[in-house]
Amino acid sequence: MQEYSNKDNRIKIIDLKENGGLGNARNVAFQQVTSDYIMFLDSDDWLELNACEIAYNQIAKYNNDFVIFNLFQFFENSGKKKQIYFKIKPFLQFCGEKKFSFDDINNPCLANCECWYKIYKTSFLIENDIKFTLGAFEDQTFNCKLFALASSISVINKTLYNYRIRKGSITTNAKNYVDYINAKKQTFEYLDTIENLDRKNKLINFWIIHSIELTLVNFKKCTKINKTTTNEYYLLLRKFYIYIDKKYSLKAVKHDIDYKKAEIIIKNKSYLIYKLYDFIYSIYSVRNMKNRIVITFLWITFKIKK
């Protein structure tokens, strides 16, 4: 870093005396920003050639609050690279448009949580006091604030970011599951404060869908990594589902989530009983989703469009 800084005086090195986590580091760095636009890059990831130029040209041309682009997953163990589409999929219909806002989005989009495959207008972040929370999964609330407050978003259907997947990272560490759940709850608390009722209700519904789907996926990952704390994590997951159901009612989004599985978790304190139900459920089940019927038979899933 020092070598590059010596070659180019635009490169600033900020020496933090203590490790306060990603959120703190980004907030401290943000105070040093003098440019019109800002991007974030995690220390183990990298950008494609000309990514900054392409992102800058888009946001400057259309004067957006922020711009979203696509990414690769890089698997460190195998060295393989895979392009993923689910992060950008909810926004593909807006490709070629100068701008859109959260009001125009009809599909749940908040799985697009991370801050790093986007470029932002600095003044938009400053004027709306959009900062990162402290602790792991610091960009959950940050991301919801973006969609709640932005009036102009655009999308680039190009893959500009490389996200490294490796053992020991924050997102693959079972010990961080508590922080993961807490970050989700903290975001619900923020969403409750939004004044625009239409956006508020829509964001809450999307966040419920995202939270139910992703916390269950990560719970399964955690149990594989650290089986000794399985019951502890299960009780935490169950408590979180009960929290959502009491506050907002899962029935409101029952056709967008695996409602039956969420219901089983809420009703059963024992992880072993949940596993038994889950096993039976995987042998045969029928789910009536919004746009399709999902049938599972002997661990094989069939999707039928309505």
Enumerate the domain spans of the chain: 1-170
Q: What is the pTM of this model?
A: 0.87
Q: What is residue 119's predicted lDDT score, i.e. its pLDDT? A: 98
Asked whether the predicted pLDDT for residue 172 surpasses 70, the reply is: no
Mean pLDDT of 182-203: 94
| Top-confidence residue, 297 or 274 | 274
Mean pLDDT of 233-259: 92
Of 167-171, 221-225, 281-285, minimum mean pLDDT range: 167-171
Mean pLDDT of the chain: 89
Asked whether the predicted pLDDT for residue 170 surpasses 60, the reply is: no
Q: How many CA atoms lie within 13 A of 138 on its CB side?
A: 19
What class does CATH assign to 1-170?
alpha beta
Over residues 83-96, the pLDDT tens digits come to 888 889 999 999 99
Asked whether the predicted pLDDT for residue 212 surpasses 90, the reply is: yes
Q: How confident is the model at residue 132 (pLDDT cuts 50, 70, 90)?
A: very high
For 10, phi then psi, to 5°, come to: -80, -15
Asked whether the predicted pLDDT for residue 297 surpasses 90, the reply is: no
Over residues 227-239, the pLDDT tens digits come to 667 888 899 999 9
The span from the CA of 103 to the CA of 17, in Å, is 42
Strand ranges of the sheet holding 292-297, from the earlier edge strand across to the other edge: 284-288, 292-297, 300-305
Q: What is residue 278's predicted lDDT score, i.e. its pLDDT? A: 78
Q: What is residue 217's predicted lDDT score, i.e. its pLDDT? A: 85
Residue 228 burial by Cβ neighbours in a 10 Å radius (0-12, 13-18, 19+): exposed
Q: Phi-psi region for residue 305, left (φ > 0), alpha (ψ -120 to 50) or beta?
A: beta
Residue 306 burial by Cβ neighbours in a 10 Å radius (0-12, 13-18, 19+): exposed
How would DSSP label each residue in 58-91?
Answer: HHHHHT-SEEEEEEEEEETTTTEEEEE-TTTGGG
Q: How confident is the model at residue 169 (pLDDT cuts 50, 70, 90)?
A: low
Asked whether the predicted pLDDT for residue 206 surpasses 70, the reply is: yes
Rg of the chain in Å (alpha carbons): 21
